Each structure stands twice: as structure tokens, then as C-alpha cells.
Amino acid sequence: MLRLALTHPSIAHEQGTPVEHNQRLEFLGDAVLQLALTRELYEKFPAFDEGPLTKARAKLVNRRALAVHGRALGLGAHLIVSRGEELNGGRERPSALADAYEALVGAIFLDGGFAVARDFILREFEAGMGQLNVIPILENPKGELQELLQARSSEAPRYHVASATGPDHDRVFECTVHHAGAELARGSGKSKKAAESEAALAALLKLRAQAAEPAPESQPTNE
């Protein structure tokens, strides 16, 4: 199975005859990777819904990231490739490394089962998961906050510049974000836009943490 995981499809094209290669294992390994990391993110971030979790997973599992993992394991030196692929630098091609990495995960799954494959994946992605310790990086926190709030009411969040300090060439802005007459959070940055984004991010974290808190139990009454 290891040999199959490392067999590039170019071998079949070169020989012109049916030859098993790693595409089927790649297909399987992709699903195993997605499941293992999705479960880990689901358990690690109970306060976040599908949108941020999907973005966090996409930062961990993409062709470029998988190629980095494949290169770190030295898979390129062991790939079984055609002569043409060899001459064209196919061993270090990111797509070939990413595919071989997914195929390797598929082979580990078939050989040892999901628990073994999951342990391998979590060891491999430990550093990347560590970078998500606080909050999955959001590309548009203002948009996500507006979407979250407008699911509750038609009122949009409002932003105010609370202060601007420092010399003109090195200003620091502090912004607040409000909704329904209440201040949700504050943020700071080198521009108004950056400060508003930080405020929105802080508000999202606060609101999602509140949503994840268990409802208080009702106290028994003395009769």
C-alpha cells in the first residue's frame, strides 16, 4: 500500500497499459483528513458555527499546505514517476506532493484504521492547530458580525471612533461597535478600518462565547 501511495499517475500514461497508481488512495485520504480535522475543530471551538470552522479547516487542508507536509516527510524522493515527469521536476511538484500525502493518509487508514490515521494526522497538524488556539482567523469580521446580528434583528451594528492617539505618522485608533443601544466591544488599530475590524472580531468572540454558555439551572423554591 505504501508503494501504491507513492506511485504517480504518470507511470500509467508512460507505459500505456493499466497500472495501479495513487489516485484512488488520494481520494480516500482526502476524506479521512477532512473528517479527522473537522472533528478536532468541532471539539476545539464549541462557540463557533459552520462559517468560521470551514475557514479554519481550509487554512489547514489545501494543496499548498499538504505539499508542505509531503515535502517535510521527504515523499518526493520516494515517488515512483515516469521518465518524463522525472525530467520535468515532477518529484517536487506541489500537486504531486499533495496528492502523495493524501494517498499516504489513505494507506495508513486502510492499514491501521481510523484511530491510527487520526493520531498521525493530529501529530502532523499539531503546529497548525496551535496557531488557531484563540480564534479561527476571519477574513471579514465586520460582515460576519452583521450577519450574526441581523439574524436576530434588522438593525445593523454601528461603529464609532472612541479616540485617536499618537503623532500623525503613527496614529492609533480605538473604535467601539454598538448594537441595540449597547456597546458590544472595542478594538484598536493603525487605521479606522483596522480598529473597526478588531472591534467586530472582539464582539464576535464575546457573542459566540455567550451563546456557548449553558443556561443557568432554575433554583428550587421552598414551599
Q: Quick: pLDDT tens for 91-113.
A: 888 989 999 999 999 999 999 99
Q: Which three cell numbers stand for residue 97?
A: 506532493
List the chain domain ranges.
Answer: 2-130, 141-212
Residues marked active site are found at 30, 102
pLDDT the model gives residue 54: 83
* Topology at the third CATH level for domain 141-212: Double Stranded RNA Binding Domain (3.30.160)
State the amino acid at position 182 in one-letter form: A
pLDDT the model gives residue 220: 52
Cβ neighbors of 149 (< 8 A, separation 6 or more) are 155, 156, 157, 179
- What are 54-59's contacts with CB under 8 Å, separation 24+? 55/136, 55/137, 55/138, 55/139, 56/132, 56/136, 56/137, 59/128, 59/132, 59/136, 59/137
Ramachandran category for residue 74: left, alpha or beta (phi over 0 → left; psi -120 to 50 → alpha): left
pLDDT the model gives residue 135: 52
Q: Quick: pLDDT tens for 32-44.
A: 999 999 999 999 8
Same fold, 2-130 and 141-212: no
> CATH number of the domain at 2-130, out of 3.40.50.150, 1.20.1440.230, 2.40.160.40, 1.10.1520.10?
1.10.1520.10
Q: Mind spelling out the 3-state secondary structure of 206-218?
A: HHHHHHHCCCCCC
77: exposed, middle or buried (C-beta count within 10 Å: 0-12, 13-18, 19+)? exposed
Q: Quick: pLDDT tens for 112-166.
A: 999 999 999 999 998 877 666 555 556 688 988 898 898 888 889 999 999 998 8
| Residue position matching grid coordinates 475590524 | 197
Query: Nearest 5°: phi and psi at 2?
Result: -65, -45
From residue 211, alpha-carbon distances to 18, 30, 196, 206 in Å are: 55, 32, 22, 9
